[in-house]
Structure 1
Amino acid sequence: MKTTTLYIVMAALVAFTSCQEKKTGTMETKQVCINDSLAKMIKIDTARESSMKNELKLTGEVSFDENNVVKVFPFASGQVMKVNVSLGDKVSQGQVLAVIRSADVAGNYSDLTSAKADLAISKRQLEQAEYLYKNGISSERDYTEAKENYNKAVAANSKVREQIAINGGGNTNAAGTLIVKAPRSGFIVEQNITSGNFIRPDNSSSMFTISNMRDVWIKANVFESDIAKVKVGYAAKITTLAYPDRVFTGKVNNVGSVLDPDSKVMTVRIALANPEMLLKPEMFTNVVISNSESAKAVAIPAASVMFDSGKNYVVVYHSKCNLQVREVSIIKSVEDTTYISSGLKRGDQIVSKNQLLLYNALVQD
C-alpha cells in the first residue's frame, strides 16, 4: 500500500516537473537528427536585436497632385455654347475645350475697330505735320503735338489688343466668340462647366483643371488615437481594389493640423509616383504606414513561429542532433518580422522553413 502511494506521489512530481519545463519555455522532446535530405529542405536563421517597427493600417483615396496642375479660368463673362471634353479625357496642348459667346469679347473687338481708326487718323495727321514742319510751313509745336497724338493712338491700340490676347488672343473673333484651348497636355481631372452655363463676371472658379497624372496624392484618414503614429517622411505602402497584387510605395509628405468636425479624423497626404498612369482620382486605397521605434527587441522571421494549443513555439537549432522546441512570447508581428519578448535571445539559431516537420517529430508521443 505504501509502495503504491509513493508511486503516485512520484508520478505527480514528474507531471509537475514537466509542467514547469513548459513554463520556462523548453518543451520535453524526443531526440531527432537532421539527415542530408532534410537539411536541404529547411532554413536556419539567427535571432537578432532590432528596432521595432510600427505599422498603421488606413483607408484612403487617390487624388491628383494639386501642386502640378493647370487651372483654366474664364477671362470673360458669357454663355457656354459648346464643351468638347468630359471629365477624365486626355487632352493635348492647344486642343479646343469649350466655346463661349461673350459680350465682353465683342466689346473688345468694337474697341479695337475704333482704336484702329484713331491710329490711322493720327498717323496721317503726323505725316502731314511732319511734311509741313520740314518745309517751314508749320511750327515745331504742331509737329510735336501730332507725334504725341499718334503715340497715344498706338498705346490705345496696343491696350485693346492686349485685352483681346488675355481673353484668348487668336481664339476670339469679332462676333464675340471665345474659344477655350488647353494650355498643356494632360487629363481633365476637374470640370465645372456644361453647355448652356452662364459665366458671370464675378465668377472665380476654374472651368477645367488639367493634370499630367504622373504624380498623385493618396489622402488617408487617421483616427485621433493614431495621430502620434504618423509623421512626415514615414514610408507608406498602398494597395488598390483594381490592382490587388500590386504594391505602390511612397512617403507621407503632409500631416493635417485639424480634425474633421463630423468624422473626427485627420487627413494625411502621401506623395506617389504614377508613371504607368494606373492610379486614377477617387480610387479607393488601403494604406499601410510604417516606421521604426527607438525601442529594441529580439527579431525573428515571422514564418518561423508556430501556433499550437494557444501558445507560440519555435524550433531552436543547436546542432543536427540537438534540436529544441521552445515557447516564445510575441510582442507583435510587422510584415515578415516577429518581435519576441521572451524565449529567445540574440544569437539563438532557429529553423524558419519547414520547421513544422521537425516540430511534429520532436513532440510526437
Structure 2
Amino acid sequence: MITYKSTITAAFVIASAVVISCNHPKAATPDDNGSLDSIIRNATTAPVTIENETDFIKLNGKIQANEDHQAKVYALASGKIKSVNVALGDKVQKGQTLAVLQSMEVAGNSNDLTLAESNVALTKKNLESTKDLYEGSLATERDYMSAKVDYNKALSELNRAKEVQAITGGKNATYELKAPLTGYVIERNITNNSEVRQDNSNPLFTVADLNSVWVIANVYESDISHIHLGDTVTVTTLANPATAYTGKIDKIYNVLDPATRTMKVRISMPNPNADFMPEMFVTVKVNGKATAGMLSIPSQAIVLDDSKNFVIVKDPTGLHIKEIQLIKRVDSKAYIQGLKVGDQVVTNSQVFIYQALSE
C-alpha cells in the first residue's frame, strides 16, 4: 500500500523523469533509482468491465419551490427601507407586512389624491352654482357646459389618483411591502436603511408555499429514451436517506444541456410535513432499465480536469493518461466510453500520478 508520503515522493520522481507532450502524454518509464517501478508495481487497479442491465435508473437532483405556488415581491415605489420585519426562512401569512419604506413617490401620490379630492369638491360647487344661474337665465348654456366639463375632468383625475394609490399602496410617505400569500420567505434581498428603486429587477422578497415542491432531476443522455411522462419514482434525501418518497414524473424538459449532456425532468411532491426544503439535494430512482452492455469502471478512478474526464491506465509498458467520455454515474460505478474491456485503471493516488504525468 502506498502511503501519503511515498505518493508525494513518487509523484515528484515521475514529474522529474517523464517528458510529456502538450497534446499526447507519453507513458511513464522507470528512472535510474527504480522509484517509478515501485509506484507502478504498487498501484491499485480495477478492470474495465461490461455491466448488465439494471432494474432502475438513478438520477441526481435538488428541491425547488413550486413556481405555481410562490410569489416574488417587488417595490412599486422608490424609497428608503425603514424596517424589515421578517428574516429568511420565516413563515408569513397572506397580507403580513414584510418591510416598510419611506417614499417620496408615495408622499407625492397621497398629495395628488388630496388635491384631486379638493378639486372635485370645488368644481362640484361651481357646477351647482352655474346650474342655478343657468336655470335663472343669469348664465349662458356655454358657461353651464364648461362647468360640467371641469367637474368631469376633476372626477377623472380623482379616479386616476385613487387607482395609483390602490396599485402602489401606502399612505402619506409610508409604503408597506405585504406578503401576497401564506408561505415561507425563501429569498430576501434588502436590509434596513438600504435604498430601493422602482426599476430594480431583483425581487426584494420571494414567498413560497412549500406544501408542494418540485424535484428537478438530471437525466443522462444515454437514459433519455428510458424516461417517460408518468414514470413512478422514489426520492431520497441526504438529510433522511432511510426514508423513500414516492412520486411521478409530471414534466420532461426536452432540452439537452450542452455542458453536462443531461436533460431535466420534474416530479411534483407533496410536502405537508416540511420534509423537503429548497436547494436540498436528492437521489431519484426511476423504475425502468438502463442501457445494457456499457463499459463500467469505479467512479473513484476518474480524474476531472478542465471539464474533461481522464483515467490512468496501467499496462506492461507503464502508466498512461487516457481521456474518457462519462455517460453516467450510478453509486460507486461510472459508465464510460473510450476504453476497452480488460483495461486496468488506477484507483489509488491517481490524482497525484495524473498531475505528474501532465507536467
How would you bin the TM-score normalised by the shorter chain? Answer: 0.5 to 0.7
Match of 1:283 among 280, 295, 309: 280
- Matched residue, 2:249: 252
Kindly state the Cα deviation for residue 156 of structure 1 after the two structures are TM-superposed.
0.2
Q: Does the 8 Å CA contact 2:75/2:197 hold for their aligned counterparts?
A: no
Letter in 1 for 2:59: L
Output the CA distance in 1 between the equivalents of 2:287 and 2:186. Answer: 30
- Matched residue, 1:178: 175
SS in 2 for 1:178: strand
- Matched residue, 2:187: 190
Letter in 2 for 1:131: D
SS in 1 for 2:255: coil
SS in 1 for 2:139: coil
Kindly state the Cα deviation for residue 95 of structure 1 after the two structures are TM-superposed.
1.0
SS in 1 for 2:166: helix
Kindly state the Cα deviation for residue 163 of structure 1 after the two structures are TM-superposed.
0.4
TM-score, reference length from structure 1: 0.61
Output the CA distance in 2 between the equivalents of 1:241 and 1:155. Answer: 60
Kindly state the Cα deviation for residue 53 of structure 1 after the two structures are TM-superposed.
8.4
Output the CA distance in 2 between the equivalents of 1:191 and 1:258. Answer: 31
Output the CA distance in 2 between the equivalents of 1:110 and 1:234. Answer: 59
1:143-180, Cα deviation, whole Å (9 max, x unpaired): 22212211110110111111011011xxx222x22011
Output the CA distance in 2 between the equivalents of 1:229 and 1:193. Answer: 45
Q: Does the 8 Å CA contact 1:186/1:213 hold for their aligned counterparts?
A: yes
Letter in 1 for 2:171: N
SS in 2 for 1:67: helix
Q: Does the 8 Å CA contact 2:57/2:289 hold for their aligned counterparts?
A: no
Alignment of 1:331-346 (within 5 A): none
Q: Does the 8 Å CA contact 1:73/1:208 hold for their aligned counterparts?
A: yes
SS in 2 for 1:249: strand
Output the CA distance in 2 between the equivalents of 1:244 and 1:121. Answer: 73
- Matched residue, 1:102: 103
Output the CA distance in 2 between the equivalents of 1:122 and 1:104. Answer: 27
Alignment of 1:108-187 (within 5 A): 108-168=109-169, 172-174=170-172, 176-187=173-184
Letter in 2 for 1:145: S
SS in 1 for 2:234: strand
Output the CA distance in 1 between the equivalents of 2:223 and 2:168. Answer: 50
Output the CA distance in 2 between the equivalents of 1:74 and 1:257. Answer: 35
Letter in 2 for 1:70: A
Output the CA distance in 2 between the equivalents of 1:95 and 1:67. Answer: 20
Match of 1:228 among 215, 225, 232: 225
Q: Does the 8 Å CA contact 1:99/1:180 hold for their aligned counterparts?
A: yes
Kindly state the Cα deviation for residue 236 of structure 1 after the two structures are TM-superposed.
0.9
1:46-90, Cα deviation, whole Å (9 max, x unpaired): xxxxxx984111121111111222222221122222211122210
Letter in 2 for 1:147: K
Letter in 2 for 1:238: V
Kindly state the Cα deviation for residue 134 of structure 1 after the two structures are TM-superposed.
2.3
Alignment of 1:1-365 (within 5 A): 54-168=55-169, 172-174=170-172, 176-291=173-288
Output the CA distance in 2 between the equivalents of 1:192 and 1:263. Answer: 30
How many pairs align?
A: 238
Gaps of 5+ in 2: 1-52, 291-359
Output the CA distance in 2 between the equivalents of 1:252 and 1:104. Answer: 47
Letter in 2 for 1:206: P
Determine which structure has more spread, i.e. the larger CA radius of gyration: 1
Q: Does the 8 Å CA contact 1:92/1:182 hold for their aligned counterparts?
A: yes
Kindly state the Cα deviation for residue 187 of structure 1 after the two structures are TM-superposed.
1.2
TM-score, reference length from structure 2: 0.62
SS in 2 for 1:127: helix
Q: Does the 8 Å CA contact 1:53/1:290 hold for their aligned counterparts?
A: no
Identical pairs, percent: 42
Output the CA distance in 2 between the equivalents of 1:192 and 1:125. Answer: 51
1:172-201, Cα deviation, whole Å (9 max, x unpaired): 222x22011112211112223232332223
SS in 1 for 2:137: coil
RMSD: 2.1
SS in 2 for 1:256: strand
